[in-house]
Structure 1
Amino acid sequence: MKYAVVASLGALSMLWPIAVAAQEGEVLPSGDSILWTPEQQVIGFRAIEKIKPVHVVRRGTNVHPLPKAAHQISPRWISRGQAMDVDRYMRERRTSGVIVLRDGEVVLERYGLGRKETDGWISMSVAKSVTSTLIGAAIKDGYIKSLDAPVSDYIHELKASAYEVVSIRQLLTMSSGVKWNEDYVDRNSDVNLHYNAISESGVNPIVSYMRRLPRADEPGTKFVYNTGETDLVGLLLTRAVGKSMAEYLSEKIWRPYGMESDAVWQVDPSGQEYGGCCISATLRDYARIGQFILDGGEAGGVQVLPPGWVQDATSVHMKFAPNAAGKTHNGRRIGYGYFWWIYDNGYAGSGIFGQNIFVYPKDKVVIAINSAWPKPTDSEYSEARDAFAEASRAAAVAER
């Protein structure tokens, strides 16, 4: 595969594909990944840097070890009346990789869908949790003074819009009050249209779209999942730190914590990384992200995040109301933190088509899952994923 270098940002490069084959006999998919067939997903999800423009997140010279535990787990559980094990789950739920860490050691690691250990896989919205973590780093570094500052202090183009009085904290908790439709299969929804916005002169194309949206509720009063706002947070971060998100991620986490491989981060037509999507990394490095958070945000002996940041970011800021069956509209999730989904025994970064990093702080367990679900979101698949994660957590704890 050959590439043309379009631009350079220090040690980073934006790469555009100029060839068409991923591997021998494979043809790269094109167009909107929401519309890819299952066969195209398997190719495209592990080769996004060959399809879309990206920035590279450079690794360092040291690698954070993930030793294999002496005793490996083999969880078994019942899901919807069916006896399940890891092989059956991965086969039926189109899973390309699962890894479970306990006390920083690997107790389970499997791959599927033709994926190898060295292959990256797209994060989808797991990137949101990385973005919020970088906001924490920017506060520690003094680039951002307060989460209560208006987002328009950093993105001036949002003045005189519904976002003018919305705070950074309200963006991080999906409670801006701005009207939004996150329906992935509706081609006219906001989440689809904002990616294809026509830029005004000198204005980021996503900002151009977002600043035209009307207000629906008072800021801070209602949770509405909004990918466009996570992209705004990404732009805010870039402007605050004066570096690309990929460069800052490399500087604060990827190099000092010891990620094993370079990652890539997809960019919009202006060259800005999407704060809400599309990092591609190896399964083991996704697990290391979870372990970094579990470790309290320390990398290379340096505290990257402010004291108390992890606890605050992974606490319930927007609570989900349960129904008569004791479940919320988001299944086992009880609320939302700073771009983290909160469970009763942990928290998770989650993305469409089955991408996840689960962290269970009391159990010292991290689980990373990559998948290629047939639909962006699916309640049955989500329930099965949660059951697998819980069974794996329980098995990891039982082996201690």
Structure 2
Amino acid sequence: MNIRKALATLAAGASVAIVGYKAIQNWKAATLFSEHSRIERFQHMNEVMPSNLVKTSETPSQAFENATTQVNKSYLYKGKEQTLDHFLNKTTTTGFIVIKDNQILLEEYLHGSDEHTRFTSWSVAKSMVSALIGIAVDEGKIQSIQDPVDQYVPELANSAYRNVPIEHVLLMASGVRFNEDYSHPLSDIRKLFYSTLVFNQSIDNYVQSLSSNRLSGTMYRYASVDTQVLGMVLREATGVQPSEYFSQKIWKKIDAERDGYWNTDRKGNDLSFCGFSATLRDYAVSGSCICNKESGMKNKLFLPIGFLLLHKSVTLLFANNRRSDTNINGGFLIKRTKIILRWVYGGNLYTFTQKNRR
């Protein structure tokens, strides 16, 4: 009898622990975008959501050397001299790094971060997924970006993505009805997070429930769920999650210094539209590999394969993109001499392509 009571007590205690753990998980997910918790959450996204490890090579090398000379940390803005420290504090920057010629000119960490911190990069994952689509086409795993997405993911045949070409999804012109307003508690992007992280639903089910409000290919409309669909296509075409494919085809080949991770729903499916986290130095490695032809990096091929599939101008779809010095291809914003990767809440990765850049 005593043994039964002890087992019952242990079972009850375990149940309470599980409920408590789930409550903490759900609280972190539900308050992810809270002004008071964003900084801490965005530096530890593997504690907020489940994640898949993105492994680097078994013998990664140090990508950069420290600069031998000090950099002037002041600059002129609107005729007044400003300091970098003032700028970083004013903008609540958590990490800042500047690389030139494989040397670290500046490296600053604030608000509890350090060189080991994996910073989330939100929508930069969209650019990564577009590159993976290009690689999958190059390898013959995807036949053509003209193929409809439901050819690879039949479950989407009765959704907004029925007969929608992969190309239209890459250009965020799928025609899906999707509200991206992060500030609205009932927007589609918020509902997506609630359903997958709080109510433990598969993100696949949420995608399948969406409807369209226009023909695909007729209008650009930013929709994170489009990239989630691309991730589903990759998963079915390659047989692995996009995070694993990214590890194999990009992260190991660019010789990232450290492993990264990619957030998932509670069923193990990658959140392909967001959720990749890495150190500042490894983001800098990625930037160097994008367009620095003189770089000593081992692999520089992933960007051309990824976005040159969309080599044609997409100005007709991007109504506000009419400047001749700007183009958007496969998730990369290209402005003459620089490529910019941006994510929500102020993250930026600038890569300057001019050989004699200052």
TM-score (norm 2): 0.81
The structure-2 alpha-carbon separation of the partners of 1:195 and 1:19, relative to structure 1 and needing over 3 Å to count, comes to closer
How far does residue 86 in structure 1 lie from its aligned partner after superposition? 1.6
Aligned equivalent of 1:349? 341
Deviates more, 1:355-364 or 1:184-193: 355-364
- Please name the residue that 2:3 is paired with: none
* Residue 281 to residue 309, structure 1, CA distance change in 2 (3 Å): closer
Matched, 1:161 2:153: no
Shift of 1:300: 7.4
Deviation of 1:71 after TM superposition, in Å, equals 3.9
Aligned to 1:115: 113
Report what 2:192 is aligned to: 194
Contact 1:117 1:283 in 2 (8 A): yes
Structure 1 pair 278/309, CA: closer, same or farther in 2 (3 Å)?
A: closer
Which residue does the alignment assign to 2:232? 235
**Match of residue 42 from structure 1:** 39
Q: Indicate the residue corresponding to 1:338 in structure 2.
A: 330
1:286-325 → structure 2 map (5 Å cutoff): 286-295=283-292, 301=298, 305=302, 309-312=306-309, 316-318=313-315, 320-321=318-319
The separation in 1 between residues aligned to 2:120 and 2:32, in whole angstroms, is 13
Give the drift of 1:83. 4.1
Query: In the alignment, what sits opposite 1:70?
Result: 68
Residue 241 (structure 2) aligned to one of 218, 239, 244 = 244
> Distance between the aligned counterparts of 2:348 and 2:324, measured in 1?
14
> Does residue 140 of the first structure (1) align with residue 132 of the second (2)?
no
Measured in 2, the distance between the counterparts of 1:270 and 1:163 equals 22
- Shifted more, 97-106 versus 278-287: the winner is 97-106
Offset, 1:146 = 1.2
Cα distance in 2 for partners of 1:104, 1:242 equals 36
Query: Which residue of 1 is the match for residue 202 of structure 2?
Result: 205
Number of residue equivalences: 333
Distance 2:324 2:67 in 1: 29
Identify the residue that residue 269 of structure 1 maps to in structure 2: 266
Residues 305-314 or 210-219, more deviating: 305-314
The answer on whether the counterparts of 2:141 and 2:238 sit within 8 Å (CA) in structure 1 is yes
Does the CA-based 8 Å contact 2:258-2:282 persist in structure 1?
A: yes
Q: 1:198 to 1:88 in 2, by over 3 A?
A: closer
Which structure has the highest helix share of the two? 2
For the structure 1 residues 187 and 116, does the alpha-carbon distance in structure 2 shift closer, same or farther, using more than 3 Å as the test?
A: same
Q: Deviations over 1:284-306 (max 9, x none)?
A: 0111112222257x997567548
Residues in 2 aligned to 1:264 and 1:218: alpha-carbon distance in whole angstroms: 35
> Which residue does the alignment assign to 1:151?
149
**Equivalents in 1 of 2:23, 2:162: separation in Å?**
44
The secondary structure found in structure 2 opposite 1:110 is: strand
Distance 1:221 1:73 in 2: 48
- How far, CA to CA, are the matches of 1:249 and 1:66 in structure 2? 22
Q: Secondary structure at the match of 1:161?
A: coil
Q: Given residue 289 of structure 2, which amino acid in structure 1 is its aligned partner?
A: F
Displacement after TM superposition at 1:104 (Å): 3.0
Where does 1:380-395 land on structure 2 (aligned, <5 Å)?
none
- Structure 1: give runs of 5+ residues left out of the alignment: 1-16, 22-26, 323-327, 365-396
Task: Report which of the two has the higher share of strand.
Answer: 1
- Unmatched runs of 5 consecutive residues or more in structure 2: 1-19
1:282 aligns with 2:279: yes
Change (3 A) 1:300 1:284: closer
- Contact residue 340 and residue 349 of structure 1 kept, 8 A: yes
Q: Quick check: 2:132–2:306 contact (8 Å CA) kept in 1?
A: no
Question: CA 1:345–1:265 in structure 2 vs 1: closer, same or farther (change >3 Å)?
Answer: same
Q: Secondary structure at the match of 1:239?
A: helix
Structure with higher Rg: it is: 2
Q: Is the 8 A contact 1:57 1:247 kept in 2?
A: yes
